[in-house]
Amino acid sequence: MSTTPPESPAPGVLGVAVPTPLRRLFDYRPCQPAPSRGWQPGLRVRVPLGKREVVGVVVECRDTSDFPLDQLKPVVAWLDSEPLPEDWLWLCRFTARYYQHSLGDTLHQAMPVLLRQGRPLEARIRERWQLTASGRDIDLARLGRARRQVELLELLRQHPRGVVSSVIGAQGFTRAQLRALADKGLIDCHEEPLTAAPAPSHGGLLAEPSLSLNREQATALAEMHEGLDRYHPCLLHGVTGSGKTEVYLQLIEAVVARNRQALVLVPEIGLTPQTLARFRRRFRVSVVALHSGLSDAERLDAWEAARAGRAPIVIGTRSALFTPLARPGAIIVDEEHDGSFKQQDSLRYHARDLAIARAHRHGIPIVLGSATPSLESLLQARAGNYRHLRLTRRPSHHAPARLELTDLRGRPRQGGMIPPTIDAIRQALAAGNQVLVFINRRGFAPTLACHACGWLAECDHCDARLTLHRQPPQLTCHHCERQRGLPDACPECGSADLRPLGTGTERSEETLAALFPEVPVHRIDRDSTRRKDALENTLAEIRRGEPCLLVGTQMIAKGHHLPHVALVVVVNADAGLYASDFRALEHSAQLLVQVAGRAGRAERPGRVLVQTLHPDDPHLRLLAESGYDALAETLLEERRLAALPPYRFMALLRLESPREADATALAGEAAGQLRQWLGERALAVDCLGPVPAPMERRQNRYHVQLMLSAAKRGPLHEACAWLTAWLERAPGARRARWALDVDPQTL
Ligand code: ADP
Ligand code: ZN
Ligand code: ZN
């Protein structure tokens, strides 16, 4: 890329990345007057695009174009006088290239909404009023009858660090009163940014002392301290409750003490008020959180504070990876195996993988933490590319609970649970404990069935069953969200013998409420927590520690500390055992371990009952008897033998169309052309397909895919680049929507 130093003459052409799916720059002529510091890559501009005006980013300043210069349209206006942060531009370019996505759309998605709309990138300011020396000393009687001015001075005397103007206004004081006191030299005001005001200079970094680490934690931290000035990737592999977070906190302390910034990425469900509170309790400096509850203005403030370096600690979910940092010091990815780090539509990036690239570019340490690391990260650790740091013990000295497999076959079930399970629940409640029943299906039952003819309620638009809900009563498709009322009779045979098939959270809740009327039953899933604060209120209730039953999906299994839970019941462990997706087993083992980790976190040892139809399944037995690490070894070996990731690299071309023939035809043509090109260049890339996607019809669209795989990333990426370029030009490509998924997490 050519860069133009500000002194050089104005370029004739600006190559601008605009928010379109097209993988190329659009050329414009500069407008008059030029930005005060000249045209430079990284400036946002408003440009005409078709009939619209859009916000784009200047990427190249040059003097030539493939188009006649006099046909180029001029930029409408520039929006920044200084370029967007260099590290952020680098990250966006890297992301666009790696995922074969349009740079314009990548930049667009990586910036806060208000920047996309053209708002200036600047901190919002507030005023803080303080007493001057004479304001501190003056005898209030000398202010005479200006009663409100006296009261205002009294207010400020109570707050030696000043009071912000909004608070002063809220107490009924007027600007005239402020100005009157300021004119007398008794008070003055400072402007400060709204978000992440500079920390008070006194009092040190920590607001509470850090814990003294056990041997394993201390070893891990020492290893991290040793690599603070270079790219130093660590896999912090520690069982749930082994004190990983404490290690993060102490690493962050070291980073901030060197006046650098720490970026912490957590899974979608993990950014809870408790997590935030834990970080905020520890540090006196501000902890900027990027969560879904922020307004667009607050998000821009947080981004600006990070860019300007005022935010020493930034914590957020997947998209926080794109936060610019003025002085990057370390990146932490908690629960690095979590699926929410991969974006599943549009720009299909993996925040953990990009975090690694970013740490490498900055030359800073990165910590990937997990109780159940991804096979990708385990392989990197095994190959010596990541330091493998283990925490095997909990500070509480209670080993994590073992999984006890219980055989579902041939036993009567109530709400999905067999009699021994129900007995165990009864005992745990009688002993004054809480019980968590985990069931990864929301709704009342996975579907509705006719017992006369075998009809099953299916979605008209997807190859999927409709889920039966009772609160409120309806049939819902969990893939397209379409809803239908409950039929009175079977649409096929007219029989009224319609019954729910299988068990979801609502049904377990109902059964448990009937079996144990003496304790409350809390259901925690996407439906029960739609209302704002519903989840927090329920969790607060649960933390009081009274005996109760919790029924929930993975929403409860992840991230929450539930110290009073002594028994965890997994209603059905079989979902991932025989799935077609090669990662299903890894993901369901991670989830099971995470659920099990909820039991016995505090003083009491826990029990985990895992119901299964396959108690002899070798993978499940290995997990139960030897734990996740042993299973992971086996899975890695299986992946190696089957030539699957992480031993091989994959990309998936996903195509969809309302007409099956259109998607298949385009996929077939793309496959043919790609194979020919690969053959000519003798590139070692396999191209499999086209094949129907695992759920072929979704929202009345047909999904087909083409799978590319290779032993080396280089050739795979060459092939992906060629394929996307071909698809952009292919005349038939309009008939189907297509997207490339590099390193797909699900097939
Ligand atoms: P993880 O992040 O691995 O789940 P945490 O850091 O949350 O583990 O630690 C689990 C519990 O143990 C927390 O209550 C934490 O305060 C406590 N803990 C962690 N490290 C120590 C330590 N060195 N000494 C005492 N308690 C600790
Ligand atoms: Zn029927
Ligand atoms: Zn549907």
Supply the residue whose CA is at minimum distance from atom 23 of ligand 1.
Answer: 213
- State residue 292's pLDDT score: 81
Ligand 1 within 6 A of 245 CB? yes
Who has greater pLDDT, 731 or 208? 208
| Rounded distance between C-alpha atoms, residue 173 and residue 641, angstroms | 75
Residue 138 backbone phi and psi in degrees, to 5: -65, 145
Residue 301 has pLDDT above 70, yes or no: yes
Q: What is the mean pLDDT of residues 217-236?
A: 96
Who has greater pLDDT, 108 or 3? 108
Residue 605 has pLDDT above 90, yes or no: no
Supply the residue whose CA is at minimum distance from atom 19 of ligand 1.
Answer: 243
pLDDT band of residue 746 (cuts 50, 70, 90) is confident
pLDDT band of residue 603 (cuts 50, 70, 90) is low
Residue 7 has pLDDT above 70, yes or no: no
Ligand 2 (ion): residues with CB under 5 Å are 450, 452-453, 455, 490, 492-493, 495
Q: What is the mean pLDDT of residues 292-298?
A: 88
Q: What atom of ligand 1 comes closest to residue 396's alpha carbon? A: 12
Ligand 1 within 6 A of 617 CB? no
Q: Residue 719 has which token pair?
A: 């092939």
What is this structure's pTM?
Answer: 0.90
| Rounded distance between C-alpha atoms, residue 377 and residue 370, angstroms | 10
- State residue 485's pLDDT score: 93
Residue 197 has pLDDT above 70, yes or no: no
| Rounded distance between C-alpha atoms, residue 114 and residue 119, angstroms | 5
Strand partners, 652: 707, 741
Residue 165 has pLDDT above 90, yes or no: no
Supply the residue whose CA is at minimum distance from atom 22 of ligand 1.
Answer: 213
Ligand 1 within 6 A of 213 CB? yes
Annotate 46-85 with DSSP letters as a single string.
EEEETTEEEEEEEEEEES--SS-GGGSPBPSEE--SSPPP
Closest to 102 measured CA to CA, from 41, 24, 47: 24
Q: Consult the annotation and say whether 453 binds a ligand.
A: yes
Do the Cβ atoms of 251 and 367 come closer than 8 Å?
Answer: yes
Does 646 sit behind a cis peptide bond, omega within 30 degrees of 0 on the bond before it? yes
Q: What is the ipTM of this complex?
A: 0.97
pLDDT band of residue 201 (cuts 50, 70, 90) is low
Amino acid in the structure at residue 285: V
Q: How far away, in angstroms, is 205 Cα from ligand 1 center?
A: 20
Q: Is 141 helix (H, G, I), strand (E, B) or coil?
A: helix
Instruction: Find the helix or strand (DSSP H, E) in which 610 lies.
Output: strand 607-612
Percent over 90 (pLDDT), the chain = 71
Segment 358-383, tens digit of pLDDT: 999 999 999 999 999 999 999 999 99
Percent over 70 (pLDDT), the chain = 97
Who has greater pLDDT, 218 or 689? 218
Ligand 1 within 6 A of 602 CB? no
Residue 278 has pLDDT above 60, yes or no: yes
Q: Collect all residues with Cβ–Cβ distance below 8 Å to 562 and sequence separation of at least 6.
A: 434, 436, 542, 543, 550, 556, 598, 601
Q: Which of 247-251, 265-269, 689-693 has the highest mean pLDDT?
A: 247-251
Ligand 3 (ion): residues with CB under 5 Å are 459, 461-462, 477, 479-480
Which residue of 212, 219, 246, 247 sits with most ligand 1 atoms within 8 Å of its CB, as the best mutation to test the pocket? 246
Residue 402 has pLDDT above 90, yes or no: no
| Rounded distance between C-alpha atoms, residue 26 and residue 66, angstroms | 10
Q: Which ligand neighbours the alpha carbon of 487 most closely?
A: 2
Task: Report the C-alpha dihedral over residues 455, 461, 465, 469, rounded to 10 degrees.
Answer: -100
Segment 553-564, tens digit of pLDDT: 988 877 677 888
Q: Three-state SS string across 424-475, please?
A: HHHHHHHCCCEEEEECCCCCCECEEEECCCCCECECCCCCCECEEEECCEEE
Ligand 1 within 6 A of 334 CB? no
Residue 347 has pLDDT above 80, yes or no: yes
Residue 98 has pLDDT above 50, yes or no: yes
| Rounded distance between C-alpha atoms, residue 734 and residue 737, angstroms | 7
Segment 582-598, tens digit of pLDDT: 999 999 999 999 888 88
Which residue of 212, 219, 245 sits with most ligand 1 atoms within 8 Å of its CB, as the best mutation to test the pocket? 245
- State residue 191's pLDDT score: 82
Ligand 1 within 6 A of 246 CB? yes
- Residue found under tokens 């180029």: 72
Segment 529-586, tens digit of pLDDT: 888 788 888 888 888 989 999 999 988 877 677 888 999 999 999 877 888 889 999 9
- State residue 2's pLDDT score: 47
Beta strands in 206-286 (DSSP E): 232-238, 261-265
Averaged confidence pLDDT in the chain: 91
From first CA to last CA, the distance across the chain in angstroms is 36
Q: Consult the annotation and say whether 189 binds a ligand.
A: no
Who has greater pLDDT, 4 or 732? 732
Q: Which ligand neighbours the alpha carbon of 451 most closely?
A: 2
Q: What is the mean pLDDT of residues 639-647?
A: 96
Q: Collect all residues with Cβ–Cβ distance below 8 Å to 717 and sequence separation of at least 6.
A: 98, 100, 742
Residue 326 has pLDDT above 80, yes or no: yes
Handedness of CA 244, 246, 252, 257 (dihedral sign): negative
Segment 474-528, tens digit of pLDDT: 999 999 999 999 999 999 999 999 999 989 999 999 999 999 999 999 999 888 8
Who has greater pLDDT, 558 or 723? 723
Residue 269 has pLDDT above 90, yes or no: no
- State residue 469's pLDDT score: 94
Residue 1 has pLDDT above 50, yes or no: no
Q: What is the mean pLDDT of residues 118-139?
A: 85
- State residue 357's pLDDT score: 98
- State residue 144's pLDDT score: 78
Q: How far away, in angstroms, is 91 Cα from ligand 1 center?
A: 34
